[in-house]
Structure 1
């Protein structure tokens, strides 16, 4: 049989855990834009988006493929 203190601590832990889970579900997704050039090194971004990894971690990502070098600044 659990003591009164152990029951209280257990209830407190359960309350904190449920609040953490609830607050994570209600959180809005963070919006971000990733600008990439035409290069295979950027393929990980496309794979992550296709597999839903960004959304899984609360990110709303838009990937823009554009020119490379100094022309990329105006593209953003």
Structure 2
């Protein structure tokens, strides 16, 4: 049985911005870019975690209709 992998969104987002170097003198621009990168990373991992949860649920139920539906849609 596949084990569920959950990534902490906050830790991941902090890691994504920890080495992010923006060459600019404008503090507001730097803050906006850092915030944008943080939020993008945070929500990307949230989507990943949701997809991982759905995969576990599908594998538990073995519902072929759900599997075919997921294969037919490209949400990622």
**TM-score scaled by structure 2?**
0.42
Q: Which has the larger radius of gyration?
A: 1
More helix by share: 2
**TM-score scaled by structure 1?**
0.42
Which structure exhibits the higher relative contact order, with contacts defined as CA atoms closer than 8 Å and separated by 6 or more residues?
Answer: 2
More strand by share: 1
